[in-house]
Structure formats: structure tokens, C-alpha cells
Homo-oligomer: A and B are copies of this chain.
Amino acid sequence: MSKQKTNKLKILNDPIYGFISIPNSLIFDIIEHPYFQRLRRVTQMGLSNLVYPGANHTRFHHAIGCMHLMQKAVHVLRTKNVEISNKEANALYIAILLHDIGHGAFSHALEHSIVNGIAHEEISLKFMKKLNEKFKGKLTLAIKIFEGKYHRSFFNQLISSQLDIDRLDYLKRDSFFTGVAEGNISSDRLITMMNVKNDELVIEQKGIYSVEKFLIARRLMYWQVYLHKTCLSAETLLVKTLQRAKELAKKNVELSASTPLRYFLYNTINAENFTDETLDIFSTLDDYDVLSAIKEWVHHDDLVLAKLSSMIVNRKLLKIQLQDKPFTTKQLEKIDVSFKNELGIAKEDLHYFKFEDKVINQAYNSEKPIKILTKKGKLKDIAKASDQLNLQTLTKPVIKYYVCYPKKFLLN
């Protein structure tokens, strides 16, 4: 009995942090649960590995990494005399561990195609509540913190804010596995600079340059990695493929698909009809269902679905152009895809291959500011505390417009 317990105090290897220890057996059991194990089969960065071949890390690893950083944060805050009880600490670990458990296969692609009537945060909450039943109420405080209903507001800020533990791990992790060293941030230093003032999470003044650098690194990761031309093209292609599949499913066309994928293709799911049963099915849907279905669809009779699928599998992506302004009608007309049409793709389906859209990124949101604790004990918005760098300009959302279309030779 006692032997079993000590067995549970496991240590995990992490190429980034070295060793990660699982703090107690409740958390060990949550990690062991099939709901959580599914995250092993969901990549953190979707199809970005088509551009950055090292980026195969999973949501499982990210969640575990967050839990590790949260342990550090709790330790740092306690040394600064911020009182955090063991119960509260444990709730923080659970909340951060589960904050993204509702993410679908390929992270974001599903939300924009076949599971789009409900946000992933809501699904996360559903998972937590279900686990809370299974673990007899031991997750109640974690859920309260996750929902922002706990009276000490810095608890929720550690889970969800502009400088939350989630970002501190994913920026570091994504930078590490993509090999884009410039996106690297010093999670360690930022955590060391954390403090709490008036129940708010703040950064001590000497950490100003670190926060600045964090914001710039994050911005760099957005434009150089997450919204990288080719990543964007791959991601969009995946969404279009699933949208086509959904369209066919609505017409009752038969599609190869695993049981859970079939469920979400042939049913229209939204926040209202997302039952416990739906959750259980969702909990078995991962990257493997989606990609293996797409591999089968390469041979489907529907030419549109077959083409789109084949482009993903063989990495023959759509061409993509980005610019700062919306594309003019003239620009769009220049892109002639009528050749597709000739090959048997109906005119009304050409929008699957040629389409325009935009991406937006805001490097800093001044509405929920990162607060700096000055040496005199006052709080300042980082955008104003920074002596020179005009962070105010970072609050302006940057919009980029893009158009995708096939290269002609793809059709051969």
C-alpha cells in the first residue's frame, strides 16, 4: 500500500526543464486518466511541423510543463511572504494542468471546422467538472480558480492573463522545439520577478526589461512561427478539408472515418447539445483520427475532398500571399484558377482552393495590463512604466490579409 504510493511520486524527463516531479498522488491519478492521456495524441502546434520538423510536441507535455512552472511560481511567491495554503497550491496545479484539456485534435483546426459550436474553454470546463465527480469533489477549488470565481484574483491571473503560466511555458516550449531560438523567453526570470500586490499578480520593477523582451519574443513567435506563411497555408488547408468533409456528410455522402470522427462529422454539435456522452466521444478524438481519415480520403470519389487531402498528405500546399491591406478585386482577378475547373472541379467549389482571409495579432492588450510594482510600492501599466520603448504602439492590432491558391503544376 505504502509502496504503491511512493511509486506514484514520479519524475518525468523534460528536455527543457530537466526533471519534472508530480507533486502528489491525486495529480498523478488525474494525469493517468484517459481524458488526460488523450493529450499525448494532440500536437501543440498542429501542422506547423510541416515547416518546423522538430515541432511535434504535444499538449500533454505542455500541460505537464505548466504544472512544473506553477510549482516554481508558488515557491517564489511564498518566499515573498504571499500566503498560499497547500490546498490552494494544489488547486493551482490542477487548474493549470487542465486548462487546455478541451482542445480538439490538431489544437485549433477542429474549432474552425467540425466542432465549432462550442469554445474549447467550455469543453475544458466540462472535462474538469466530470473529473471532479470522479475524484469526489477534490477539484472544486481548482474549478473555482479556473472560472475566475475565487476571491483572490491573482490565482486566476496565474492561469489566464497576459503573463500567465500557460504563455510562459508554450512560448518557451514552442521556441525550443521549432528551433527558433529567438523566441526563447526566460520563464525562470519572469517567475522570479513575480509578486502579489492588492491580490493582483504583478512584476517587480527590475523585471521591466524582461517583460518587454517577453512581449517582443511573443510577437516574433506570432509572425515568424504561428502565423508563418506556410504554417498558415497548411492550417487553412486542414480546415478546408474538414469543412468539405462536413459538407459531404450533411449530404449523407459516405466517408471513411473513425467512430468519434464520424460522430462529429455526421452530427451538428453545439454548446446546447454537448452532452456527457458527447464529452466521452470527444475524449477519444485526436490527431490520429483526423489524419488517418484524411489519408483515406485521398482516394475518395469527391474530387475536391481527394485533392485537398492529397495536398496535406504529400505536403503540396497552396501558395499564399500576405499583405498589409485587403486584396483588391483586381488583384484577386489576376489569380486565375479556372484550370481547376477544367479538371472537373465545379465552379462553385473553387472557393476551397482559392480564398482570402486575414490574421490579427495584438502584441499587448492594455485593457488587462501587465502591472509593474515600482520600488516605491506603486502599480504601473508596463506600457507606461517602460522608459523608452513605446509599448503603447504594441496595443494596436496588426492585421495581415492573405490569399491562397493552387500552383498550376499541382494538378499533374
> Could you tell me which A residues sit within 8 Å of B by CB distance?
9, 11-16, 18-19, 32, 34, 37, 40-41, 43, 49-50, 52-54, 56-58, 60-61, 64, 79, 176-182, 184-186, 188-189, 192, 209-210, 212-213, 216-217, 219-220, 223-224, 256, 258-259, 284, 287-289, 291-293, 295-296, 299, 313-315, 324, 363, 387-390, 393-394, 396, 398
> With a CB–CB cut-off of 8 A, which chain B residues contact A212?
216, 220
11 contacts between A and B (CB under 8 A): A13-B54, A15-B177, A34-B314, A40-B50, A43-B56, A181-B186, A209-B224, A216-B389, A219-B388, A258-B296, A324-B387
- Alpha-carbon separation in the docked complex, A333 to B383 (Å): 34
Q: Report yes or no: A18 in contact with B188, Cβ–Cβ below 8 A.
A: yes
- Alpha-carbon separation in the docked complex, A213 to B224 (Å): 12
- Contact pick for A216, options B186, B189, B216, B289, CB 8 Å: B216
Q: Report yes or no: B40 in contact with A49, Cβ–Cβ below 8 A.
A: yes
> With a CB–CB cut-off of 8 A, which chain B residues contact A295?
258, 284, 288-289
> With a CB–CB cut-off of 8 A, which chain B residues contact A216?
212-213, 216, 389
Q: Report yes or no: A398 in contact with B390, Cβ–Cβ below 8 A.
A: no
For A54, A224, A295, A389, the residue with the greatest tally of chain B CB atoms inside 10 Å of its CB is: A54
- Alpha-carbon separation in the docked complex, A217 to B295 (Å): 39
> With a CB–CB cut-off of 8 A, which chain B residues contact A363?
388-389
- Contacts A58-B53, A186-B182, A398-B388 hold; do A192 and B224 have CB atoms under 8 A apart? no
**Least distance between A206 CB and chain B CB atoms (Å):** 8
For A53, A57, A314, the residue with the greatest tally of chain B CB atoms inside 10 Å of its CB is: A53
**Least distance between A95 CB and chain B CB atoms (Å):** 20
> With a CB–CB cut-off of 8 A, which chain B residues contact A179?
13-16, 18
Report the copy number of this chain in the oligomer.
4
For A19, A178, A324, A389, the residue with the greatest tally of chain B CB atoms inside 10 Å of its CB is: A389
| Cβ-closest chain B residue relative to A39 | B53
- Alpha-carbon separation in the docked complex, A60 to B256 (Å): 27
- Alpha-carbon separation in the docked complex, A13 to B175 (Å): 11
- Alpha-carbon separation in the docked complex, A292 to B293 (Å): 9
- Contacts A40-B49, A188-B18 hold; do A296 and B213 have CB atoms under 8 A apart? no
> With a CB–CB cut-off of 8 A, which chain B residues contact A34?
313-314
Q: A12-B53, A15-B178, A209-B220 are in contact. List 14 more A-B contacts (CB 8 A).
A: A11-B192, A13-B52, A15-B179, A37-B313, A49-B58, A184-B184, A213-B216, A259-B299, A284-B295, A288-B292, A288-B295, A289-B295, A324-B387, A393-B393
Q: Report yes or no: B50 in contact with A19, Cβ–Cβ below 8 A.
A: no
> With a CB–CB cut-off of 8 A, which chain B residues contact A217?
213
For A37, A50, A79, A295, the residue with the greatest tally of chain B CB atoms inside 10 Å of its CB is: A295
- Alpha-carbon separation in the docked complex, A35 to B135 (Å): 47
Q: Report yes or no: B13 in contact with A389, Cβ–Cβ below 8 A.
A: no
- Contact pick for A56, options B14, B56, B213, CB 8 Å: B56
